[in-house]
Amino acid sequence: MKKLLPKILSGAAALALALTASAQDTVKVGILHSLSGTMAISETSLKDVLLFTFDEINAKGGVLGKKIEPVIVDPASNWPLFAEKAEGLLVKDKVAVVFGCWTSVSRKSVLPVFEKYNGLLFYPVQYEGEELSKNIFYTAEAVNQQAVPAVDYMLADGKKKFYLVGSDYVYPRTTNKILKKYLKSKGIADADIIEIYTPFGHTDYQTIVAEIKKFSAGGKACVISTLNGDTNVPFFKEFANAGLTSENCPVVSFSLSEDEFRSLPTKDLVGHLGCWTYFMSLTTPENKKFVADFKKWLKTAPAGVDRNNRVTCSPMNLSRTGVYLWKQAVEKAGSFDVDKVREALPGQTFKAPEGKVTMQENHHLINPVFIGETMANGQFKIIKSLGPVAGEPFSDKFLK
């Protein structure tokens, strides 16, 4: 037994050394997206594209010589649980950065956690603005990069009546508050702006659609939709059943992309509009490569990743862009230290699938903006390109 003891201790030391070396060869990165609940329809694909991006980077040597090790948690569309899971990623798992959240209420829930523990969050989904945190980088569309350009397009098309329908939480309410001010500044009367909200997962849109039909009867009306998640399915089904179309009452949606279309009756959405900084139908060399590489990756993707009928969309693209901007900032800083990486991020550029993007001092991107029209195959036909637009979180800067 005495002779065996040194061998056992020696083996344990070797194992500990191997585990330490293994830990030194990787950097932990958090994925904070709902993989269950009402928001899973949108967020699961962001988890998938992050895993794809990590594999893409790891295949080329990782970041500062370390392979990215994803730590995946499921906040299950439960807003308080987002904060709990975020704290676990930062305190227990000690991740270098987190990519996550979809709804603004989930982002608002985790914001104090990231500020308390000085964590770093990349947020990839269109949002209402009126916020700026030193611990968050907002890679997606601010109101002046999506909602305002969409409304401008409808005004130019002769629309005089606007029905604002959204899910009942901070993003739709704040966005519509800004849009009402903007519409009034353009001469739209109070009586020609209707505003209504429904809970997450709402399924009965018969009364609301009947009101929309009555509202649009005189012509020159449109719907501005900030409905989120799977509630879009019953809304558009009821919309089509009522005889409403893109011809007699077009809908501009800010939370419906190619990925959500996989679960929607796209034949009912033909001609309706979206406004994003990216569409899968873009023909740039960078986008063709992104789409092809993602589809190739799906063939050998980890268990649990849906391989069928997959597409790309703006939040997926902006998730990937956030990873590359973080990687570049880490390499510029020569460190994973949050303070050093944060300092290195402003000014970072990336040749994204939609064109060159630039991270600004205000933690928002300069990004091209496009208006797209839904086609029966679940893709968008780009009908207007607005060029690079600088993201501005505070509405008093663009509401003149």
Instruction: Examine residue 103 and state whether it is found in any structural domain, yes or no.
Output: yes
120 within some domain: yes
Domain count, the chain: 2
- Do 307 and 274 lie in one domain? The reply is no
Same domain as 263, residue 157: yes
Q: Indicate which CATH number applies to the domain containing 265.
A: 3.40.50.2300
Which pLDDT does position 38 carry in this prediction?
A: 87
Whether 2 maps to a domain, the answer reads: no
Tell me, yes or no, whether 82 and 131 share the same domain: yes
Classify residue 19: in a domain, yes or no.
Answer: no
Quote the pLDDT of residue 7.
Answer: 52
| Residue 41 structural domain | 25-141+283-364
**Cα 386 versus chain centre, distance:** 20
What are the b/e assignments for 361-370, b being 16+ CB within 10 Å?
ebbbbbbbbb
257 and 387 together in one domain: yes
**Residue 51 near residue 305, CB atoms below 8 Å:** yes
C-alpha–C-alpha distance, residues 326 and 125, integer Å: 17
In-domain check, residue 13: no
pLDDT for 175 = 97
- pLDDT confidence of residue 230: 83
Distance CA(294)–CA(344), nearest Å, equals: 28
- Are residue 190 and residue 237 in the same domain, yes or no? yes
- Using a 10 angstrom Cβ sphere, with 0-12 exposed, 13-18 middle and 19 or more buried, the burial of residue 15 is exposed
The reply to whether 67 and 148 lie within a common domain is no
> In terms of domains, do 124 and 29 share one?
yes
The pLDDT tens digits along the chain (400 residues) read 445 544 544 555 444 444 444 557 999 999 999 999 989 988 999 999 999 999 999 999 999 999 999 999 999 999 999 999 999 999 999 999 999 999 999 999 999 999 999 999 999 999 999 999 999 999 999 999 999 999 999 999 999 999 999 999 999 999 999 999 999 999 999 999 999 999 999 999 999 999 999 999 999 999 999 998 888 889 999 999 999 999 999 999 999 999 988 887 788 889 999 999 999 999 999 999 999 999 999 999 999 899 999 999 999 999 999 999 999 999 999 999 999 999 999 999 999 999 999 999 999 999 999 999 999 999 999 999 999 999 999 999 988 7
Structure confidence at residue 19 (pLDDT): 44
